[in-house]
Structure 1
């Protein structure tokens, strides 16, 4: 890794929050994104997730070789230390790239509200951002743990099979505090243990269950065990990665796991195999967060394609601008010696920048982009060289031309004096350090262009010489004088014709420059129009999303109103039922009372009858 990249990496050496929940929803740390963009490097992403208080942050510190002062926060107790997703970067010990470690907050925190929804969103983000997704489990991997990776099934249902297989990272199960694993009472390798769990049938083993999705879509899988690192219950007391209390067996297991991660890792790639740059990773992160925040599952392939196109346009624009400005600065200051060598250096730097930062669709696509940049750089240098040559000659020849206008050559042998001054300019032009024949593409052509103008000026000076000849031949015979007059008239006609031709050429040149300005203005307006159209389209999509959210809220409100109404109806029905039951009891009591009164009356009447007898 270059010294410059190490220097840019310094601000990411300590952990800081990357993605978290706020009052407005999911937030991304812009400072982290800016630091990642500055790296201009390839990356590989390791993520650790799992239940609350299972030592995720501590094992990440072990992998990243972090101590107490510069590692992820760890603590004892049931209170979560990590909130959201945190990030820390290190140099890759083997590949020429940067390792991004992502630490996620513990799943199913009992002290949080709306835990399942937040867990699913954070887990979806960390899963789709990862190259190696490490699930940290204590002692064993059971149905309870499978339920915590239910978000994988949720993602799988929204993606095509091929897209899921290309987008899903390697799934690594890390069993903590165990030295051996068994299947049906038999000690087996950790990988066999994982495969047996994924293959075993159960009540929840159906299509798009977490077990099925990991088995079908995470084609790369691995499993490792880590024995208990120490007798201490509080791992936060250990801190340093080389603490003397760590068991030798744990250190051996950790080294085996660490070697696997780094030796079997590759730089992060798009689904088409093209490598990610840190800038593309930042845009991918931002787009993922926006999509997940809306409650949707991203179409990873289309998202990657859009980001790749935007990144390629950005890199092309920045590279061409940098090349153009560098060439112009070099021509002005000549800080680097010969512009020819400097041109080759800058062209090579531009090609390396394109190869390192662009995301090509294929190797052929990259070759086409490189050839396009070579053509651009040569045309740009040709244009600049022509401008410099023309600027130099215009500046120095203008003095000679002005002397003609000021009648400074109005003496015998005027043409010879003018030719002498022009030769001096030509000598300076040939010796000009920045405009040597091996440097300027158009040096000869520019001189030839100016030479035509010089010849036209010489015609005027020939006329001056002829006039002096005429003046000296006034004593000669009339025939010779008439001959000279005719020559003068012809020369005057040629000079006037040349002046008209020069005026016409100057007008054409001015018209050409105006047309170029007009084309540039039209292109600027087209770009502004395209930008406005894209803005309008984005605003339209935003309004559509807002309308969908509004419709969703309306439907939810309607359902809540219907539910409230149903509850009120049930309560009213229950009240009426209770009233009816109460009325029935009263009627029943009245009937019983009347029956008793009737029986008493009958008895009394019977007694009266007996008395009358």
Structure 2
């Protein structure tokens, strides 16, 4: 399955609830998720067993059949089943539907019910709670799992019990939107003689009862929890879909066999979910892909099975570790692909190669930045920079190799006649040395005229002429037409020319090192620039996230004051103040500073390397000269 396609013809089990009570992730489902590179919109449904959850999910999948719709008094779905479908409205997103085991099944395990409920919340971006009849105290009491969440889940590994109010605002950053689907609803939507919408009916049901007795506190607890943890709430009421004798074969019925009071809200429900359900994200606004969702599921289930309390922050950090590693690999692969497409070896100069490298590095960094998140110490970014720097050095080495091969082949072809004269002894006669020097100059002249020799042109020529020095000295000493003084002058001149060639090669090497040092400075500046841009984007996302939470908290505080619950409103104000303080910190100009300092620290082990080599080389060069 390609990253942009979903080809699941049927649901499969994602998390199996085995008879011994163990929760086990199924490899087949994980493999499907790991191949989905698109952002995912995850809709999970929870509720008591035998309340028609699976039928709702089949409708969201655009199918009449799929998730198993049971017809007995025993829960049909065990664990959590998954169905990945193309999103009806967003072609670049995948819709992931999660159908959960019915809560409160006869012979079931209440501890496992709580974990199934918690997993549905942690994995979804929209949570549908499915119930029957009306939203009364009994229906609210069945949502006991909401009030147990803070005991089953922690936000940070170093949680301070005194900061429970602040924690509630942190939970909201991780929790999904909430939809209450009320099935077989037979009442008239009226309150105090006035018509009310489905949403108004839900909000009225969530109003707190006045009083301070233990009974009232227990009654208010699920209401407070829903209002605290799910500020985004929606309600849909459905008539009974058909007569009682046909309910057991509901998925087989045609549209005309279903009640209008069921079909109309069902259409509105599906449209609402498809149009408004957001993609799954983690704090900071990072979109979750299928492969990331698989990692989250693995992290949570492994933690639960180990007997520990799932920590949301730790799960996100584990996810960031996986995703940042993949971001480095993807960026390196992108860099390599671009270099192969754009670079033709050998290049005429080192700046030409470094220019191509700079373009490819910039685009690879963009690929990394688009996928990476929570790389607070810039370890992964530094790893990417180091890897691309190593690849650049390898390209430079190969560039020299290819240039050397081309130059040696060219010199060999140009010096065929000269080599033949040496072998036949043409130069070992009077005036032979001047003829040898002239022929050698002719080879050098033709060599210099040839284009596309690459960066090793001078070095290869130097090596070639060095190999001819011994031959030239032998010819010079055998040339009887020259006096000893003339021989000394000729030999001195040859040494001077050799020294000049060596100096030119050394200068080129020095220039290459300086160019590489400049390239590393450019690379560092490019990394800082892109990190700054990402930090600003992250800042905006965090501020927007805080703004939405604050607006919800303010609305909730206003509602609590209106209902007369000043104590709860005062506690809510503490949460709002905490959010305001956090937002103020994020808005400070120095906020990105720690990330940039982390980048400098992470890059420092290898950024000075070229500079050190340049200084050492220049010192050695002047010593030799």
If the TM-score is normalised by the length of the shorter chain, which range does it land in?
0.5 to 0.7
**Residues in 1 aligned to 2:494 and 2:440: alpha-carbon distance in whole angstroms:** 19
Displacement after TM superposition at 1:188 (Å): 2.3
Instruction: Tell me how far apart the structure 1 counterparts of residues 367 and 10 of structure 2 sit (CA, whole Å).
Output: 28
How far 1:485 moved relative to its partner? 2.5
Matches of residues 364-379 of structure 1 in structure 2 within 5 Å?
Answer: 379=389
1:312 deviates by: 0.9
**1:165 aligns to what?**
172
2:249 is aligned with 1:249: no
Q: CA deviation at 1:261?
A: 1.6
Cα contact 2:328–2:383 (8 A) shared by 1: no
1:57-456 maps to which residues of 2 (within 5 A)?
Answer: 57-68=54-65, 71-95=66-90, 96-110=92-106, 112-113=107-108, 115-157=109-151, 159=154, 160-178=167-185, 180-183=188-191, 187-201=195-209, 203-206=215-218, 209-231=221-243, 233-235=245-247, 237-239=249-251, 243-321=255-333, 323-324=335-336, 327=339, 350=364, 353-360=367-374, 379=389, 382-399=392-409, 410=422, 411=427, 413-415=435-437, 417-418=439-440, 430=452, 443=454, 446-447=455-456, 450-455=457-462
1:36-55 aligned at under 5 Å gives the runs 36-55=33-52
Change (3 A) 1:74 1:138: same
Compared CA separation, residues 229 and 498, structure 1 to 2 (3 A): same
User: CA 1:402–1:118 in 2, change beyond 3 Å: closer, same or farther?
Assistant: same
Alignment of 1:565-604 (within 5 A): none
Distance 1:224 1:302 in 2: 35
- Match of 2:53? 56
Counterpart Cα distance in 2 of 1:193 and 1:218: 16
- Please tell me whether residue 481 in structure 1 is matched to residue 458 in structure 2: no
- Native 8 Å contact 1:125 1:292 kept in 2: no
TM-score, with structure 1 as normaliser = 0.65
- SS of aligned partner of 1:281: helix
Distance 1:299 1:469, change over 3 A: closer
Residue deviations 1:343-387 (CA, integer Å, cap 9, x gap): 89976874564355333579xx99x999996x6797567545433
More displaced stretch, 163-172 vs 123-132:
163-172
After TM superposition, the structure 1 stretch with the greater mean CA deviation from structure 2, 485-494 or 283-292, is: 485-494
Quote the Cα distance in structure 2 between the aligned partners of 1:419 and 1:381. 38
Contact 2:123–2:297 (CA under 8 A) maintained in structure 1: yes
Q: What's the CA shift string for 1:478-523, capped at 9, x where partnerless?
A: xx60222212543576699899999x99xxxxxxxxxxxxxxxxxx
Native 8 Å contact 1:131 1:169 kept in 2: yes
In 1: Cα distance, 2:288 partner to 2:400 partner: 45
Deviation at 1:243, TM superposition (A): 3.2
Please tell me whether residue 29 in structure 1 is matched to residue 26 in structure 2.
Answer: yes
Structure 2 CA distance, aligned partners of 1:24 and 1:423? 85
CA distance in 1, matches of 2:84, 2:233: 24
SS at match of 1:272: coil
Of structures 1 and 2, the larger Rg is shown by 1
The whole-number CA distance in structure 2 between the counterparts of 1:284 and 1:257 is 28
Number of matched pairs? 471
Residues 124 and 176, structure 2, Cα contact 8 Å, conserved in 1: yes
Find the aligned partners of 1:409 and 1:150 in 2 and give their Cα distance.
101
Assess, with a 3 A threshold, how the Cα gap between structure 1 residues 131 and 66 changes in structure 2: closer, same or farther.
same
- Structure 2 CA distance, aligned partners of 1:414 and 1:493? 16
Distance 2:120 2:408 in 1: 68
Distance 1:381 1:304 in 2: 31
Measure how far apart 1:87 and its partner are: 0.4
Aligned partner of residue 172 in structure 1, secondary structure: strand
Q: 1:293 to 1:303 in 2, by over 3 A?
A: same
Normalised TM-score (structure 2): 0.64
Q: Helix, strand or coil for the counterpart of 2:234? A: strand
CA distance in 1, matches of 2:133, 2:250: 21
**Matching residue of 1:519:** none
